[in-house]
Amino acid sequence: MTGWIRACGLDDIEQEGARRFDNDCKTYAVFRSAIDEVFCTDGLCTHEAVHIADGLVMDYEVECPKHAGAFDYRTGAAKRLPPCINLKTYPAKVEAGEMMVALR
Ligand code: FES
C-alpha cells in the first residue's frame, strides 16, 4: 500500500461536490460532503467508462452523467441501475486544508 498523497485542496471542491483526480495512470474521484467529510472512489462508472466526478452529487450519492446510475460515494455501493458493480473506495482525510488519499 502506498502512503497518503495529496489529491487537491479541500477548497478545490464545493460542499456536496466532486473532483477528478489522476495518479499513476489511474483515475479517481474525490468527494466533499455537505459537512466537509471527504471520500475517494475509483473514477470511472462501472457501467461504462465515464468519469463519475462529472455527475451530480447529493445526499452521499453521485449520479453518473451518462445513464443516471447512482453510487453511494462513502461505500462505493451501486444504488441505482444500470450499474450493478460497486466502485472501489480508498481512505481519504483532510490535513491542513489538503485532501489526502491512500491509494492501494
Ligand atoms: S455509464 Fe454510468 S450509468 Fe451508464
> With the C-alpha atoms ordered 21, 69, 94, 88, is the resulting torsion angle positive or negative?
negative
Residue 1 has pLDDT above 90, yes or no: no
| CA atoms of 91 and 98, how far apart (whole Å) | 14
Q: Identify residue 18 by its one-letter amino acid code.
A: A
Ligand 1 atom at shortest distance from the alpha carbon of 52: 2
pLDDT category, 2, cuts 50, 70, 90? Answer: low
DSSP one-letter string for 85-98: SPPPEE-EEEETTE
For ligand 1, atom 4, name the residue with the nearest CA. Answer: 67
- The DSSP secondary-structure symbol of 69 reads -
Q: Which domains does the chain have, with CATH numbers?
A: 4-102 (2.102.10.10)
pLDDT category, 26, cuts 50, 70, 90? Answer: very high
| CA atoms of 38 and 64, how far apart (whole Å) | 19
Q: In angstroms, what is the span from residue 82 Cα to ligand 1's centroid?
A: 7
Residue 104 has pLDDT above 80, yes or no: no
pLDDT tens sequence across 56-72? 999 999 999 999 999 99
Mean pLDDT for 77-82 is: 97
**Statement: the pTM of the whole predicted model exceeds 0.85:** yes
